[in-house]
Amino acid sequence: MSQTVEIDSDENERNSDVEQQIGNKDDAERKIDFEPQDVIKTRGSLVWKYFHFSGTTNLGADKKKVFCKLCERNKKKGKKMSQIPYSGGTTNLTKHLKIWHKSEFKKAEEEASKKTDANKNSSIKDYYGEKTKHKWSKSSVNWKNATMSIAKWCAKNSRPAFIVEDSGFRCLMDLICPQYEVPSAKTIGRYIYQLYELEHSRIKEKLKDIEFCAVTTDGGTSSNAVSFQDTNVQYINEEM
């Protein structure tokens, strides 16, 4: 004798909903790997390329531990060996590489050394300055005025002309005025001599009608060991 079993359609729908919920829960709790840069600020440490975080799609990454990619590839070491406690620094990670993955640790050290050397060799201009190919022409008013300002600074403050050939001075000028090409010490010397000629003519013109005057001189050395001579002229003119 055959029997027919009837299943309520509502019950089928309820069973389908339960299965879907279970499936969604499984998806939410599915374990996935997270790259370090997606979880924390790695600050450029090269050891991070050998590690990753783990977690679920629902809860995100577990920041209390990291996993070594190299150990996971080597099945002999097992999962336990690849798991490393993490508390915010890379000391444990570096120590793990140094002990268990010597060749990779050496590579990371060499890359870090090259990166450090590159940073040391970079100039202030490369780091801060605005790079520009356009330079003022040496016949332009802007270039001449800037050069004369440097010459006046050297003359008034007892600075040597060769200060313009100092690498730090040139980097500073490239930073604050990249359009200006710093001249040589010889050029600054010529501009200082022009200042001397102008001042000499001015004083000579001022004293041309003076019949008698008293002249005193004094010599000394500035704080930066530069010798100088001071000349004082005293006279009586028509205005006095």
What are the pLDDT tens digits along the chain (240 aa)?
Answer: 444 445 455 555 555 554 555 455 555 567 888 888 888 876 678 888 899 899 988 888 888 999 999 888 886 655 567 888 888 888 888 889 888 888 888 888 888 887 776 666 555 555 554 555 689 999 999 999 999 999 999 998 888 999 999 999 999 999 999 999 999 999 999 999 999 999 999 988 988 888 888 999 998 887 767 777 888 888 887 776
Number of residues written out for the chain: 240
Whether the Cβ atoms of residue 50 and residue 71 lie closer than 8 Å to each other: no
Per-position b or e across 40-52, b if 16+ CB within 10 A of its CB: eebeebbbbebbb
State whether the Cα torsion 142-143-147-153 is positive or negative.
positive
Considering only CA atoms, which of 104, 188, 106 is closest in space to residue 153? 188
Q: Is 77 exposed, middle or buried (0-12, 13-18, 19+ CB in 10 A)?
A: middle
Q: Which helix (H) or strand (E) holds 9?
A: helix 9-28
Q: Terminal CA-to-CA distance of the chain, rounded, Å? A: 146
Whether the Cβ atoms of residue 104 and residue 77 lie closer than 8 Å to each other: no
Q: Which helix (H) or strand (E) holds 72?
A: helix 69-73
Considering only CA atoms, which of 152, 145, 235 is closest in space to residue 192? 152
Residue found by looking up tokens 């050939």 in the block: 165
Widest pairwise Cα distance in the chain = 152
Per-position b or e across 101-115, b if 16+ CB within 10 A of its CB: beebbeebeeeeeee
Q: What's the Rg (C-alpha) of the chain?
A: 39
